[in-house]
Amino acid sequence: MAALRILILCLFAISAVYAHNITEILSDYPEYSQFNSYLSQTKLADEINVRQTITVLVLNNAAMDDLTSKHSLSVVKNELSLHILLDYYDPKKLHSVSKGTTLTTTLYQTTGNAPGNLGFVNITDLKGGAVGFGSAEPGSKLDSTYVKSVKQIPYNISVLEISKPITAQSILTAKSSNVNVTALLEKAGCKTFAALIVSSGVLKVYESQIDKGLTIFAPNDEAFKAKGVPDLSKLSNAELVSLLQYHALNSYTSKGSLKTTKDSISTLATSGAGKYDLTATSSGDEVVLHTGVDDSRISGVVLDSTPLVIFTVDNVLLPKELFGKSPSPAPAPAPESETPSPAPISTPIPAPASEAPAPITSSPPSPATETPESSPADAPAVKSENSSSDNTAGVVEAPALLKSLPLVSIVTALVFLS
Ligand SMILES: *[C@@H]1O[C@H](CO)[C@@H](O)[C@H](O)[C@H]1NC(C)=O
Ligand SMILES: *[C@@H]1O[C@H](CO)[C@@H](O)[C@H](O)[C@H]1NC(C)=O
Ligand SMILES: *[C@@H]1O[C@H](CO)[C@@H](O)[C@H](O)[C@H]1NC(C)=O
Ligand SMILES: *[C@@H]1O[C@H](CO)[C@@H](O)[C@H](O)[C@H]1NC(C)=O
Ligand SMILES: *[C@@H]1O[C@H](CO)[C@@H](O)[C@H](O)[C@H]1NC(C)=O
């Protein structure tokens, strides 16, 4: 019976995953579109959705601009975590906090990076009916005020607008942890690519972009040896720089976002509309990038940690501006090889794959996922392609099968079995 009770508890926990969907709730309000977009980008939306009793303090687009224009994505994520209260506050409760002031726990407290009162927000009932919000970090101002109620689902989720960001000085001034991009790339089997970005100076371009968000598509060493790869030593310096910049995006773009992006994607090499861009298609868990000249499968995730994501890809991405005569997908001076190469060019839709979520058995193992234990202490561990991609606590992924089964029928079946 104990086992049964645990099972039922688990099922309730799974059902709570779907208690609410903050992305959907906010999609009705264009004035909060920026806030909503950042919740998705930083994956805080997932954290909100798995929690049963929560209050989200939203900012309108102007107030968000204020925050995002001055700070890196990782700082924005930490700041927004202070706007997610792990308790239910509707307008009535806001105006009736005991003794007129309280400290409430925020999502930032659950990250393990919050010393002292840093993970708490001070809510104070000000004179004249106003309610003030501020970080509980000593010396913080109580200068954000309650504007209006946006949405309440009683005791589950409350969404309230406040006037300006709740800021904690030590979050704003935190140094972003320094990641050694070349070391990570070398470890993931992308030594050639690492050497090229160092020698061409493109590493500096990458590094200057990290704080604002950067996605790197690193071809593995096999990709550079594959037949059909043009002789890169024949490129001019400027062309090599463009080619390497073509292998990165100036945003934090997780695999999940690549899967849902239907438009063409600008790269760091993009200088004008439609120039040096990419498209992506997906099938199950597989994502394939298309340049107009060749295709390349995303074969592994070396690092996915806001604001930086590094993927390995199994072909060099050949932009049509350098290797194609026309914008048509017909391969021109860079013919794809007919003979099997160590890194086969994937087709976007493997024929029988519609039911298998991750048809990766037929492809070479990604070097990125082979040696997770041997990562250096200063570098984040290499993660497998399907791992939950961030280090924040609390995300519960329900198995796909359970997601699709109605809760009631499972409980009924269990009670019947006992
Ligand atoms: C609140 O969440 C609980 C548990 O997930 C759910 O059973 C209940 O229906 C929700 N309440 C509302 C009003 O949606
Ligand atoms: C939440 O809603 C958004 C937008 O409607 C949708 O794209 C997303 O898949 C939903 N998430 C979940 C977990 O249902
Ligand atoms: C909240 O901040 C106000 C103003 O700084 C302060 O007077 C009050 O004591 C704080 N509340 C708590 C519970 O610490
Ligand atoms: C990064 O790692 C490479 C070796 O992969 C090393 O040569 C370089 O000095 C490191 N850079 C920094 C800033 O530590
Ligand atoms: C992740 O993928 C590996 C195969 O690459 C598979 O063995 C494992 O079960 C997957 N894990 C999850 C949680 O889906």
Do 357 and 343 form a contact (C-beta atoms < 8 A)? no
Report the first-to-last Cα separation within the chain, whole angstroms: 8
Phi, psi values for residue 92, rounded to 5°: -65, -45
pLDDT of residue 177: 63
pLDDT of residue 387: 38
Alpha-carbon span 16 to 33, nearest angstrom = 25
pLDDT of residue 142: 94
| Strands 157-162 and 54-58, bridge-based pairing | parallel
Ligand nearest to the CA of 185: 4
CATH superfamily of 181-323: FAS1 domain (2.30.180.10)
List every span in the chain annotated with CATH 2.30.180.10.
15-171, 181-323
Question: Residue 278: how many CB atoms within 10 A of its CB?
Answer: 22
pLDDT of residue 71: 87
pLDDT of residue 74: 85
| Strands 214-219 and 308-313, bridge-based pairing | parallel
CATH code assigned to 15-171 = 2.30.180.10
pLDDT of residue 351: 39
CA of 9 from ligand 5 middle (Å) equals: 25
pLDDT of residue 135: 96
pLDDT of residue 354: 39
CA of 155 from ligand 1 middle (Å) equals: 8
- Assess whether the previous peptide bond of 348 is cis (omega < 30° from 0): no
Is the entire prediction scored with pTM above 0.75?
no
For residue 21 and ligand 2, the question of a CB distance below 6 A is answered with yes
pLDDT of residue 115: 82
**Ranges under pLDDT 70 in the chain:** 1-18, 175-177, 325-418
For residue 397 and ligand 2, the question of a CB distance below 6 A is answered with no
CA torsion, ordered 263, 385, 359, 253, to nearest 10 deg: 0
Cα atoms in the Cβ-side hemisphere of radius 13 Å centred on 102: 15
Ligand nearest to the CA of 386: 5
Using the atom order of ligand 3, give the atom closest to the CA of residue 102: 13
Residue with the smallest CA separation from ligand 2 atom 5 is: 24
